Amino acid sequence: MSDNAIIVENVTKRFDSVTAVDNLSLEIKWGELFGLLGPNGAGKTTLLNVLATLLEPTEGGAQVGGFDVEHDGKNVRDIIGVCPQEPAYYGHLTGRENIEIFGTFHDVPKEDLKERTDELIKKIGMEDHADRKAKEYSGGMVRRVSTVMALIHNPKVALLDEPTVAMDPVSRRAVWDFILELKEKGMAIVLTTHYMEEAEFLCDRVGIIDEGRLIAIGSPKELMEKHNAKDLEEVFIKLTGKKLKEVV
């Protein structure tokens, strides 16, 4: 098996006249937690959707776990866990039922499903709410359940699109701990976020995308040193803010 869990080679994705991802290449290793940063509309979600087999690249190609996303989608879907930006869940089902049905979709053995669901519910601090209908949840609770729905089957590759948006600090910390635990198990994780402290705390490496292009890649420390910045937020503003000023 290759060292790389994800290989993106010159991927371009266009929607009519709009280029969402522009000739982007990167590699992510097994056990690596990779952060995708960028302003709104930079192309982060589009790239995740290509990796999740939801979109076909216009040019270039990508592999997840050694499987081509275009031609081997079924095998890719067997090994990934996807947490979408907008949490999609069955409002009339309870949080527990939502988690269990996604576990079944991913063929988690019946005998393990309940135990694993209980364990993850506890990890995200939802023990008291797991048997309420999901439509009654707050935004933060929905996000926590949505994250677990993506990870119930211990995927080899996790694609998490802004999983901690709208969470209170305690919930966010619980999800961070959960993600770090998964990384320790060797899972490759791609995480998009607007929270720079989150990327700095969690990610082994980050890639900053702007207008569909990868404009910087490296560990948070490397990027801070290279751009002479005190934190990742300053790096981000220097790289993307400069561009904005030029446009203005």
CA distance linking residue 90 with residue 98, whole number of Å: 6
- The least distance separating other proteins from the CB of residue 4, rounded to whole angstroms, comes to 20
Residue selected from 10, 41, 56, 168 as contacting other proteins according to rule CB under 8 A: 56
Q: How far is the CB of 89 from other proteins (least distance, A)?
A: 7
Which of 9, 27, 68, 97 forms a contact with other proteins (CB under 8 A)?
97
Site string for other proteins, 119-158 (x = CB under 8 A): --------------x-------------------------
Q: Which residues pair with 132 in a beta bridge?
A: none
Order of all β-strands in the sheet with 4-15: 18-29, 4-15, 59-64, 67-68
Q: Give the one residue of 18, 105, 131, 221 binding other proteins; rule: CB under 8 A.
A: 105
d(CA 111, CA 80): 22
Q: Is 81 exposed, middle or buried (0-12, 13-18, 19+ CB in 10 A)?
A: buried
54 binds other proteins (CB under 8 A): yes
Q: Quick one: which segment of 32-40, 53-61, 186-194, 221-229 binds other proteins (CB under 8 A)?
A: 53-61
Residue with Cβ nearer other proteins (163 or 220): 163
CB 90 → other proteins: shortest distance, Å? Answer: 6
| Terminal C-alpha separation, the chain | 47
| Residue 96 touches other proteins, criterion: CB under 8 A | no
Q: Which residues pair with 205 in a beta bridge?
A: 34
Residues 225-236: b if buried by 16+ CB within 10 A, e if exposed: eebebeebbbbb
Which residues bind to other proteins, rule: CB under 8 A?
Answer: 15, 52-56, 74, 77-78, 80, 82, 84, 86-93, 97, 101-102, 104-107, 110, 133, 159
